[in-house]
A and B are shown apart, each in its own frame.
Chain A
Amino acid sequence: MLELKGLTRRFGATTAVDGVELVVPDGQMVGIIGRSGAGKSTLLRMINRLETPSSGRILSGGRDVTALSGRGLREWRRDCAMVFQQFNLVQRLDVLTNVLIGRLAWQRGWRRLMVLLAARFTAEERAMALAALDRFGLAETALQRAETLSGGQQQRVAICRALLQKPRFLLADEPIASLDPRNAQLVMDALRDVNRRDGLTVLVNLHHLDTAREYCDRIVAMQAGRVVFDDAPGALTPERVRAIYGISEQEFAAEAEARRRAAAAPARLAVA
């Protein structure tokens, strides 16, 4: 169980996340929606502790993880894997090594040194990585550089990396915002599979309300850093959307689509 108590993050004068209270039971798939700047990314990054909370607490199974540091912090991060909008793979490394990065926090003693100096992982770990890649139809790409893969493939590699951490939570920050609809579906299916088959608790930031309704057990809507809706997908009717955001669902979708294009354009340039 993941509990957020009065979680707040300020950047100077702006309060990105404002006193968020949330209890997520194990095994749930939660969709977090909100317009640009609502604080969705900051919230997930705080749970992984990439961002330090200004105030409030994060509890996992009753244990306070807000003030962890050093090895304790690294082990907490290992337990709540992250997936990013821009995939955040090491572009010049091969796919297999990218997936094996999920094993870094597990290394102990002289093995840790071997991995640091020579990037030598054990045969079991390589087998784990290959099995994960195979599960998402990527086994053939194992020795290719990450930069040679399409966006959808890269995002599934990122999910493999997350799985190798053997985490309890998976935090996905707009995992499909840079992808075309077909790849978006593949990635969302992968997340659902991870939730159902591996029993991971999944928190996923989304722009598309339809996607959130289709895939999630529960939807949390944010506006200006606050949670303004927290209920089953069925309760998020078009009327509720208008009441929360002051715009129609079509306008909300158009905004999301515009942002997807803006995010995808630089990626295409980088490939060309």
Chain B
Amino acid sequence: MSGAIASGEAAYQAALRQRRRATLLGFALLALCLLASARVSEAYPATLLAGLPRIGEYFSRILPALRWDSLLAGTETEGSLAFWMYRLDSWAWLLLETANMAALATLMGAGAGLLLAFPAARNLGAGTLAYQLSRRLLEAMRTVPEIVFALILVWAFGVGPLAGILAIALHTAGACGKLFAEAIENTGLGAWAGVRSAGGSWAQACRFAVLPQVAPNLLSYALLRFEINLRSASVIGFVGAGGIGEELYKVISFNYYEEISAILLLIILAVCAIDLLSERLRHRVIGALA
């Protein structure tokens, strides 16, 4: 009896040592990889130290020169809030356009992603060709960055929000489609067999047996994607694809320091507001539909 205990304990200790060795080896390898990649990408600590103060310097430059005594004065007085935000009307309009771009792109992208998610879900047996095609297409749309799509589309459709919307929609379709397909793969196939056994077609089974079961999940993903797309839409204008990003790019390249901070502040405020709203909406959707 005690012999069994002793040998069991010995085996346990040996297994423990083995595991510890493996963990240590793993960490050592990780550290080595980190060092090597830092070296290759020239991320030296010295460069980091030299550059840090310059970030602070940039921020102090773009900060507005506000003065307490004239803070609430009109647009004409230097040092007032109104002077800092003197183009608030056109910036607000651009922000609205940006949010609009994000909303449209999310709607279009999630819609396309939904259509592709059904053939891309392994458990629905769409046939090898449809499965492979939809999977590869989703992959392609997901891996190409939005800014690359935007560059191509600006070249094709000209400068303006249309290019930005399409670029974000393409990327969204890829990202949402994959998540949607995974949500579909996680649903049981009982209802599917029910619809198919009644003579329902593949499309009808997708519509009636799968969609109602996954809808709350998909809606919540799409809303999350809307928050992400709002951030994308704010910078995609850098390449001429519409929204507030175009304005931001202009003031950055002309070094209109105070306007940079004004626009950045507005973007941050807008993103925060929409984040909060959309998060509450998302929770309500989940609560109402689940």
Contacts and interface: CB of A to CB of B under 8 A. Distances in A.
A65 B196 CA distance: 16
A93 B192 CA distance: 13
B208 A90 contact: yes
A77 B196 contact: yes
Contacts of A74: 199-201
A135 B187 CA distance: 32
Main secondary structure of the interface of B (DSSP, over half): helix
B191 A84 contact: no
Interface in B174-222: 190-191, 193-201, 203-204, 207-209, 212-213, 215
B143 to A, nearest CB: 32
A84 B204 contact: no
Interface stretch (A157-165, A206-214, A225-233, A234-242): A157-165
A76 B198 CA distance: 9
Interface residues on B, range: 10 to 19
A208 B207 CA distance: 37
Interface residues of A, number: 30
Interface stretch (A98-106, A126-134, A243-251, A253-261): A98-106
Of the candidates A81, A90, A116, A165, the one having the most CB atoms from chain B within 10 angstroms of its own CB is: A90
B213 A92 contact: yes
Given A84-B193, A84-B194, A92-B213, A104 B199 contact: yes
B199 A88 contact: no
A209 to B, nearest CB: 27
Contact of B198 (A77, A92, A115, A116): A77
B196 A89 contact: no
Contacts of B196: 50, 77
Interface of A: 48, 50, 74-78, 81-82, 84, 86-93, 97, 101-102, 104-105, 115-116, 119, 158, 161-162, 165
In the complex, the 6 A-B pairs of residues with the closest C-beta atoms, listed nearest first:
A105-B199, A88-B194, A78-B199, A82-B197, A77-B199, A74-B199
